[in-house]
Structure 1
Amino acid sequence: MGIRSVVSKPLAKWVVERQQAWMYRPAEAQQRWLQQLLEGGRNTVFGRIHHFRDIQTVEDFRQAVPVRDYEDLRPYIDQILAGTSDVLWKGKPLYFAKTSGTTSGTKYIPITHDSIPNHINSARNALLNYVHQTGNSGFLDKKLIFLSGSPELTQKAGINIGRLSGIANHHVPAYLRTNQLPSYETNTIEDWETKLERIIDETIDQPMSLISGIPPWVQMYFDRIQERTGKLIKDVFPDFSLFVYGGVNFEPYRAKLYESIGKRIDSIETYPASEGFIAFQDTQTEEGLLMLLDSGIFYEFIAADEFFTENPRRLTIEEVELGKNYAVIINNNAGLWGYSLGDTVKFVSREPYRLLVTGRIKHFISAFGEHVIGEEVEKALQYAMQRHPETEVVEFTVAPMVSPSEGLPYHEWLIEFATPPNDLASFARDIDNRLIGLNVYYDDLITGSILQPLKLTSLPRGAFQRYMKSQGKLGGQNKVPRLANDRKIADGLLEIPKTV
């Protein structure tokens, strides 16, 4: 047993003991962070405009600080980019995490000296929780791969700018750098397909034990390895024992990924965002991800069905209910105030608070008033896959067909199968029937003959990869939206040539 695996166990015990100090006192932890954040932001441009000195209670804070999205925050970001200090948080950010917005174009999310531990320590603690619970630590002595964006940074106004995964790469602990792959030079390659081939060159003969990345891009990595070797991943990497992922629901990818591996392995789900590391899977036996309530963020929640109303209620952690979808609002020590993260979550436990990520607040279909959300389409697809166990899905998205050439409007499901169902029509009916059971509005539209049952379009292999490449979003942390109220993505997929 190597030094890393030996040292990790007492460190894991220490981390979990500290964690338990706030896990069962969540309201206290959150109130403490609200006060610290108000103190940290008091003398900033934002703090003076919003009268932080006069805020005494949560209700005062809600009255002073409205919920905002990136466009509302942009004037403050522009001031920072122009060289101004003490705008959203004291001093200047260490970094801007550059990310793509669905409506805002490129977004620049601040990461400060005070907020960087949230990103780095949370990723570390996800692994240490696993070590503490399972006793498995040997993976730390072998090779680890993180499929991520380029670590190369640019600068503006003296602030480093890059992708979050690339920024995080600069903070990998020194004791892990010697067994981290791929190399820095390979990680800086921008073209994903070229980069992937180089990653395989560097890893294919190494004792890989941990692989981390967004499931569809990890699957692409596995597919290319199998094309080269003709072997299952377990035979190429016999030491591979832990898969770390986040960013999308794993269920549609699970069957295909494990088939490629050739054996069951442990996995850790994480919930990182450029705006903050929100939660991670702290147990292999309980449902949900532990929400990180003592890590530089004061959270608020708005019921998803109230979010677009005129005066939605903003709730603290102790006010949320189990089984209900909430939009996540964050206030943090990077200077994000009343910031709508854009995600929806559902709590499955309150002691401690564990959640499931259920979708995006703006990613839904309501072209006909049905308001179908991501959680519902993923559950419907999972149900159909259980009824047709031969089926393996690579990727999918759903769009409305408002004005078909004939017949009633409908939802079109565009699915790329690794292995299609034996009976495609029956598979589509199972999805539709499950969706009817999950969404009463969709049920009303189908039974009222406003919509006809969904139509399923099976896409050729590689369609989603070719589409993402055509958009300049192949690889890294980029994801295909599950749902849309228009046909931009759907039509792009249907029009994409077989080679790009």
Structure 2
Amino acid sequence: MINDLLAWVLKRRLVRLEQVRTQPLQLQEQLLRHLLQSARSTAWGREYGYAEGLSAAEFARRVPVSSYEQLYPRIEQVLRGEADVLWPGRVQWFAKSSGTTNARSKYIPVTREALEDGHYRAGRDMVALATTLYPDAGVLRGKTLALGGSLGPNPFRPDDAASHMGDVSAVIMHNLPGWAQSRRTPPLELALLGEWEEKLERMARHVLHENVVNLAGVPTWMILLLRRVSELAGGRPIPEVWPNLRLFMHGAVAFGPYRELFRQLIPDERMRYLEIYNASEGYLAFQDQPDSSDLLLLLDHGIYYEFIPTAEQDREQPRTLTLGEVEIGPSYALVISTTAGLWRYHLGDTVRFTSLAPYRIRISGRTKHFLNAFGEEVVVENAEAAVAAAARATGALVRDFTAAPIYFDGAAGSRGGHQWLVEFAQPPADAAHFTAVLDAELRQLNSDYDAKRHRDLALQPPLLTVAPAGTFEGWLARRGKLGGQHKVPRLSNSRELLDELLQLSSGRT
């Protein structure tokens, strides 16, 4: 009975999803009007004249594009319990994500509207889509194994037991309606545990005996859980443990490096994979075609979009394009306004359009170089600060460096990691100590990196490779980039650059 009712609800979402494809500009215009009308009496809305019924062009002219750091004074007011600052009412839930230059973590408000109109609506759409794309997968005939983070009290309101912060996945799970809780596993008391080692062990033991038909989560952590489940099952492959498993809905990191490993872990030709593009700030897009990695941009899910062309990205107040002005091909930096009260917020991601009818995208990167192969989100500022701290602690002088991922190799017990290629003007007295300080500083600076490094569960300690003198200069010389402001990128999510540098190097570990 409940499956029939759920199927009916999901079919209704498919009708709305078709409007996302066929009426994109109308949906975005309606959403902007709704956002402005809803926030007209907030402090922000009064400051920027939302009561006047701004057009999209006037909204873009009047309201500044803001980074997290620029918006933080208002967010801090919300964190401390002030009402009607960025969005109507008092916000009780906050998503904690990786830090910025000025802070170890970001705190993103999660309003009831952001949950209902964004994350939950998109989740229903994703399930509805999966039942349509893969009708034989039995998406509704078992449970979804959902991996999430943990929750804690809001440190800005130590006396308010009703206010919490944590990973956005944990915020979503905790607030799911009862019918949705019954469709997922493990139970909340396990799913929201903060101690990762205990959590993975207890989760694996619990879900071992469930009828798991779907997986949902970050590939990095899912690999660790699946390996442990197989071990507890006496080495049996996952399709024997869960014979009805057919679908993995994944996000947060690029799936390409993990695809073959999942094929090894789940050797079943009936297994399907769908990509999700969500963040602490909202649910932005998902894969709506089984044979294409393009992602359908979600246009009635609480996010109004603007796009910064490449030529504008370094300007203090860049010119933005509306959805109707974008083109196929170029990369654009995303600017979003949301039902969580993020106004013309520079998300930091870049996308490029692969289709305009409907609007489909691919994630093209970040506005800065970064390392995010495992959900650690290490940015250049983190890397430079950590290398500087390691150099100070060991008496070293660093000439240049770059870092790239070490991906899972498929062997039992293998873990991901980072390889750092460093060229020293003066080497450290103790290379092992240099590496240890580098690691410790990154953990201090970046909460997501720290979580992945906890007890070496997902990330092994950094691997330091010393480059001979002239390695980086030689690489630049080959490309005619000596002099000026040319330099080797500090971080990359691909090993292409690092492997090329290693070919020039007779480095030693």
Identify the TM-score tier after normalising by the shorter chain. 0.7 to 0.9
Provide the residue aligned with 1:383 in structure 2. none
Task: Tell me how far apart the structure 2 counterparts of residues 148 and 475 of structure 1 sit (CA, whole Å).
Answer: 17
Provide the residue aligned with 1:171 in structure 2. 175
Task: Tell me how far apart the structure 1 counterparts of residues 376 and 452 of structure 2 sit (CA, whole Å).
Answer: 14
Change (3 A) 1:302 1:234: same
Q: CA deviation at 1:328?
A: 0.9
Q: In structure 1, what residue type is equivalent to 2:352?
A: K
Q: CA deviation at 1:293?
A: 0.7
Provide the residue aligned with 1:261 in structure 2. 266
Q: Given the alignment of the two structures, is residue 247 of structure 1 paired with residue 225 of structure 2, yes or no? A: no
CA shift digits 1:435-464 (9 cap, x unpaired): xxxxxxxxxxxxxxxxxxxxxxxxxxxxx9
Task: Tell me how far apart the structure 1 counterparts of residues 377 and 57 of structure 2 sit (CA, whole Å).
Answer: 42
Provide the residue aligned with 1:444 in structure 2. none
Query: CA contact under 8 A between 1:279 and 1:289: conserved in structure 2?
Result: yes
Task: Tell me how far apart the structure 1 counterparts of residues 349 and 58 of structure 2 sit (CA, whole Å).
Answer: 25
Query: CA contact under 8 A between 1:243 and 1:268: conserved in structure 2?
Result: yes
Q: CA deviation at 1:204?
A: 1.4
Matching residue within 268, 278, 281 for 1:272 = 278
Change (3 A) 1:283 1:116: same
Provide the residue aligned with 1:138 in structure 2. 138
Task: Tell me how far apart the structure 1 counterparts of residues 209 and 88 of structure 2 sit (CA, whole Å).
Answer: 47
Change (3 A) 1:268 1:8: farther
Query: CA contact under 8 A between 2:277 and 2:284: conserved in structure 1?
Result: yes
Provide the residue aligned with 1:198 in structure 2. 202
CA shift digits 1:310-360 (9 cap, x unpaired): 553201111111122111111112111010111111111111111112222
Task: Tell me how far apart the structure 2 counterparts of residues 233 and 172 of structure 1 sit (CA, whole Å).
Answer: 28
- Written as runs of structure 1 = structure 2, the 5 A alignment for 1:406-421 is 411-418=402-409
Q: CA deviation at 1:177?
A: 2.5
CA shift digits 1:182-216 (9 cap, x unpaired): 12222232121111011111011222111111011
Matching residue within 351, 354, 357 for 1:348 = 354
Matching residue within 455, 473, 485 for 2:490 = 485
Query: CA contact under 8 A between 1:130 and 1:283: conserved in structure 2?
Result: no
Q: CA deviation at 1:127?
A: 0.9
Task: Tell me how far apart the structure 2 counterparts of residues 342 and 308 of structure 1 sit (CA, whole Å).
Answer: 12
Provide the residue aligned with 2:105 in structure 1. 106
Query: CA contact under 8 A between 2:353 and 2:359: conserved in structure 1?
Result: yes
Task: Tell me how far apart the structure 2 counterparts of residues 322 and 479 of structure 1 sit (CA, whole Å).
Answer: 37
Change (3 A) 1:417 1:80: closer
Provide the residue aligned with 2:300 in structure 1. 294
SS in 2 for 1:474: helix
Task: Tell me how far apart the structure 1 counterparts of residues 198 and 47 of structure 2 sit (CA, whole Å).
Answer: 49
Matching residue within 313, 320, 337 for 2:326 = 320
Query: CA contact under 8 A between 2:131 and 2:139: conserved in structure 1?
Result: no
Change (3 A) 1:53 1:8: closer
Q: In structure 1, what residue type is equivalent to 2:235?
A: G
Provide the residue aligned with 2:185 in structure 1. 181
Q: In structure 1, what residue type is equivalent to 2:406?
A: I
Over 6 Å off, 4+ runs: 393-403, 467-470
SS in 1 for 2:201: helix
Q: In structure 1, what residue type is equivalent to 2:51?
A: R
Q: In structure 2, what residue type is equivalent to 1:28?
A: Q
Supply the RMSD in Å over aligned alpha carbons: 3.7
Task: Tell me how far apart the structure 2 counterparts of residues 349 and 213 of structure 1 sit (CA, whole Å).
Answer: 27
SS in 2 for 1:141: coil
Task: Tell me how far apart the structure 2 counterparts of residues 22 and 212 of structure 1 sit (CA, whole Å).
Answer: 24
Matching residue within 73, 76, 79 for 1:75 = 73
Q: In structure 1, what residue type is equivalent to 2:265?
A: S
Q: In structure 2, what residue type is equivalent to 1:197?
A: E
Query: CA contact under 8 A between 1:8 and 1:131: conserved in structure 2?
Result: no
Query: CA contact under 8 A between 1:327 and 1:344: conserved in structure 2?
Result: yes
Provide the residue aligned with 2:229 in structure 1. 225
Change (3 A) 1:69 1:88: same
Change (3 A) 1:341 1:280: same
Provide the residue aligned with 1:115 in structure 2. 114
Query: CA contact under 8 A between 2:295 and 2:362: conserved in structure 1?
Result: yes
Change (3 A) 1:413 1:282: closer
Q: CA deviation at 1:52?
A: 2.3
Q: CA deviation at 1:275?
A: 0.9
Task: Tell me how far apart the structure 2 counterparts of residues 144 and 101 of structure 1 sit (CA, whole Å).
Answer: 30
Matching residue within 307, 313, 331 for 2:313 = 307
Provide the residue aligned with 2:450 in structure 1. 472
Q: CA deviation at 1:98?
A: 2.0
Percent identity for Structure 1 against Structure 2: 33
Matching residue within 90, 93, 96 for 1:92 = 90
SS in 1 for 2:89: coil
Task: Tell me how far apart the structure 1 counterparts of residues 375 and 340 of structure 2 sit (CA, whole Å).
Answer: 36
Provide the residue aligned with 1:284 in structure 2. 290
Query: CA contact under 8 A between 1:93 and 1:110: conserved in structure 2?
Result: yes
Q: CA deviation at 1:269?
A: 1.1
Matching residue within 23, 44, 60 for 2:42 = 44
TM-score normalised over the length of structure 1: 0.74
Q: CA deviation at 1:4?
A: 4.7
Task: Tell me how far apart the structure 1 counterparts of residues 453 and 5 of structure 2 sit (CA, whole Å).
Answer: 34
Task: Tell me how far apart the structure 2 counterparts of residues 419 and 286 of structure 1 sit (CA, whole Å).
Answer: 25
Structure 1 stretches of 5 or more lacking a match? 366-373, 379-392, 421-463, 491-500
SS in 1 for 2:95: strand
Query: CA contact under 8 A between 2:328 and 2:353: conserved in structure 1?
Result: yes
Q: In structure 2, what residue type is equivalent to 1:236?
A: V
Change (3 A) 1:130 1:319: same
Query: CA contact under 8 A between 1:40 and 1:90: conserved in structure 2?
Result: yes
Q: In structure 2, what residue type is equivalent to 1:207?
A: N
SS in 1 for 2:244: coil
Provide the residue aligned with 2:216 in structure 1. 212
Query: CA contact under 8 A between 2:349 and 2:363: conserved in structure 1?
Result: yes
Q: CA deviation at 1:137?
A: 5.7
Task: Tell me how far apart the structure 1 counterparts of residues 310 and 222 of structure 2 sit (CA, whole Å).
Answer: 31
Structure 2 stretches of 5 or more lacking a match? 389-395, 412-438, 460-487, 496-509
Query: CA contact under 8 A between 2:377 and 2:449: conserved in structure 1?
Result: no
Query: CA contact under 8 A between 2:378 and 2:449: conserved in structure 1?
Result: no
